[in-house]
Structure 1
Amino acid sequence: MVIVETVLALRKIVGRARIENKKVALVATMGNLHEGHIALIDVAKQHADFVVATIFVNPIQFGPSEDLEKYPRTPDADQAKLKEAGCDLLFLPDVAEMYPEGFEAQPIVSVPRVSEGLCGAARPGHFNGMATIVNKMFNVVQPDIAVFGEKDYQQLAVIRSMVRNLNIPIEIFGAPTVRAPDGLALSSRNGYLNDQERAAAPILYQCLKDVALSLQRGSLDVEQLLDEQCKRITSSGFQLEYLEIRNAHDLSLTSETSGNLVILVAARLGKTRLIDNVVVSAGEL
């Protein structure tokens, strides 16, 4: 695995891969890698010949009260995991490389509709910052495909909408959520949980599964269904931000209780914000 820190060096190496007619994949991360990230590399390798991973903790997607400085950084371990996974090239830029004229001069990418509500309401400006850096990475690497995790479902939906509406010639793949044996979705932020919080955390996934099962069985009283699970979550020590059912394709609000739906949740446990989702084909049991 080759490691580069500049756009120029990256483009030279990717250019050589293209001369060899290799299909290029991108896996963009913020580091502190776990099995979920490595699963993205595995998907990329299935669909491309040359895999580029990026590690960049992007300042403009963090709010003023969020954990930019405390965000876990594990560069040595990350590099070892990527090398073992068969990544071909790791791009490790610093802030000056990605924002050479500063944040004030940086054009911002805003993706309407799909970025609104859910985490977009809880974290104002987050998706603008995320879409901007992903678009920059797309322009830097110019991959044929890019792989993102389905755990961050709204993020994936925002990226897909951006690619469609800006006519970006990249195929987007979603990789299934990787979970711990007790069901907790793997996340870099799980490391913030203390032992008691970690033991309680899987309740979120249990609630999602129960909602999904009820929808599959044809439940029509969605309001009562969600209310019961909201009470279950809060009584377990969480500060609930949202528990919602949306259209799985575009995250639009829906009153339908059949078809392809996604159940999404965000809640704080202590100081840690957890998100999760389950996609369900309702009314099919």
Structure 2
Amino acid sequence: MKPSTPSSTAPSPNLRVVTTPAELRAALAGGGRVGLVPTMGYLHEGHAALIRQARRACGVVVVSVFVNPKQFGANEDLGRYPRDLERDLGVVGAAGADLLFHPDAATIYPAGYATTVSVSGVSGPPEGTSRPGHFDGVTTVVLKLLNLVQPDRVYFGEKDWQQLAVVRRMVRDLNVPVEVVGVPTVREASGLALSSRNSYLTPGQQARATVLSRALRAVQAAAAAGERGAAQLRQAGLEVLAQEPEVQLDYLTVVDSDMQERARVENDPMTRVLVAARMFGVRLIDNVPLWPVPLGPEGGEA
């Protein structure tokens, strides 16, 4: 089953596709405020929400589609990661982007390439521990894209919460002149967070994967009932996950704005509950704010 897509995916006649830095610079010459949406393709409604938010704020919207080999580990799914450029063109055009930047690996990492961008601290647990080197690959390609596009704003989904935190720290530490905008997670009606990797699951498996979002909601409910102990909050989620035998848990954790676990939590809007697990051979991640907020216009947390 493919991930949800916007109802209309006809390519826009105004959408321009570029594949090289020279073409990109020429296409951006003389433009207004530029927004960038970096993606690895196989786009769905969550990506469309990023593009639409960029469209509302920027005069020129660039979407990059590049499956970045440097953020995949040796035993991860680089070779089978879903790819469908024709479909992506439809999603990007329908959501209102102006440019689609689709470079190949040799363009981004030419022969002799020898530089890696690494952010310490916030790139550690939980995700950095499970996927060593992953965030180095993310920050390296993101910084390259920021240098190539030179956007005023760059948009990321909150589903990859730690990635968003790592990019924000990199931008701050390196004085990159860009505003990093986090966009709330878009979900299926069932509660399942949209992800390109959902395409690996059958409809029935996707229904069972909603146990992850249900576990996160259980942690939220425990906090709303007055629980402040991190171990007790985590236990509330573990009890839900235990109901689904297919869950192979990587982590379920409550972290602060610096991605640190604390013994007790405070009523801080930046406190987040994160989960990662394998189900049916597919690694899925999700997160929610510990303190729920009203739904936004795209259907995720505002």
- TM category, shorter: over 0.9
Determine if the alignment matches structure 1 residue 61 to structure 2 residue 75.
no
Alpha-carbon distance in 1 for matches of 2:214, 2:37: 29
Quote how far apart the aligned CAs of 1:81 are: 1.2
Q: TM-score, normalised by structure 1?
A: 0.93
Give the conservation status (yes or no) of the 8 Å contact 2:214–2:240.
no
Give the conservation status (yes or no) of the 8 Å contact 2:19–2:104.
yes
Quote how far apart the aligned CAs of 1:253 are: 2.1
Alpha-carbon distance in 1 for matches of 2:258, 2:241: 26
Structure 1 unmatched ranges of 5 or more: none
Give the conservation status (yes or no) of the 8 Å contact 1:215–1:257.
no
Alpha-carbon distance in 2 for matches of 1:48, 1:250: 29
Alpha-carbon distance in 1 for matches of 2:92, 2:236: 42
Q: Which residue of 1 aligns with 2:182?
A: 174
Determine if the alignment matches structure 1 residue 11 to structure 2 residue 21.
no
Alpha-carbon distance in 1 for matches of 2:44, 2:20: 25
Quote how far apart the aligned CAs of 1:218 are: 1.6
Give the conservation status (yes or no) of the 8 Å contact 1:234–1:240.
no
Give the conservation status (yes or no) of the 8 Å contact 2:230–2:262.
no
Q: TM-score, normalised by structure 2?
A: 0.88
Determine if the alignment matches structure 1 residue 194 to structure 2 residue 208.
no
Alpha-carbon distance in 2 for matches of 1:195, 1:43: 29
Structure 2 unmatched ranges of 5 or more: 1-14, 293-302
2:90 counterpart (80, 86, 101): 80
Q: Secondary structure at the match of 2:29?
A: helix
Quote how far apart the aligned CAs of 1:129 are: 0.3
Q: Which residue of 2 aligns with 1:109?
A: 117
Q: Secondary structure at the match of 1:51?
A: strand
Alpha-carbon distance in 1 for matches of 2:120, 2:259: 12
Q: Which residue of 2 aligns with 1:146?
A: 154
Q: Secondary structure at the match of 1:281?
A: coil
Alpha-carbon distance in 2 for matches of 1:244, 1:4: 41
The one-letter amino acid paired with 1:12 is: A
Alpha-carbon distance in 2 for matches of 1:81, 1:194: 22
1:238 counterpart (230, 236, 247): 247
Give the conservation status (yes or no) of the 8 Å contact 2:16–2:98.
yes
Determine if the alignment matches structure 1 residue 27 to structure 2 residue 37.
yes
Determine if the alignment matches structure 1 residue 222 to structure 2 residue 230.
yes
Alpha-carbon distance in 1 for matches of 2:127, 2:214: 20
Q: Which residue of 1 aligns with 2:50?
A: 40
Alpha-carbon distance in 1 for matches of 2:222, 2:26: 53
Alpha-carbon distance in 2 for matches of 1:176, 1:5: 29
Alpha-carbon distance in 2 for matches of 1:112, 1:140: 24
Quote how far apart the aligned CAs of 1:84 are: 1.2
Alpha-carbon distance in 2 for matches of 1:84, 1:196: 29
CA deviation string 1:13-52 (max 9, x = no partner): 11221xxxx1000000000000000000011112211000
Quote how far apart the aligned CAs of 1:228 are: 4.0
Give the conservation status (yes or no) of the 8 Å contact 2:125–2:259.
no
Give the conservation status (yes or no) of the 8 Å contact 2:229–2:264.
no
CA deviation string 1:139-171 (max 9, x = no partner): 000000000000000000000000000110100
Alpha-carbon distance in 2 for matches of 1:45, 1:101: 35
Q: How many residues align structurally?
A: 275
Q: Secondary structure at the match of 2:30?
A: helix
Indicate the larger mover: 205-214 or 251-260.
Answer: 251-260
Alpha-carbon distance in 2 for matches of 1:88, 1:278: 31
Quote how far apart the aligned CAs of 1:106 are: 2.7
RMSD: 1.3
The residue correspondences of 1:88-127 to structure 2 (distance < 5 A) are 88-102=98-112, 105-127=113-135
The one-letter amino acid paired with 2:65 is: I
Alpha-carbon distance in 2 for matches of 1:159, 1:100: 23
Alpha-carbon distance in 2 for matches of 1:153, 1:220: 22
1:161 counterpart (151, 159, 169): 169
Indicate the larger mover: 226-235 or 136-145.
Answer: 226-235
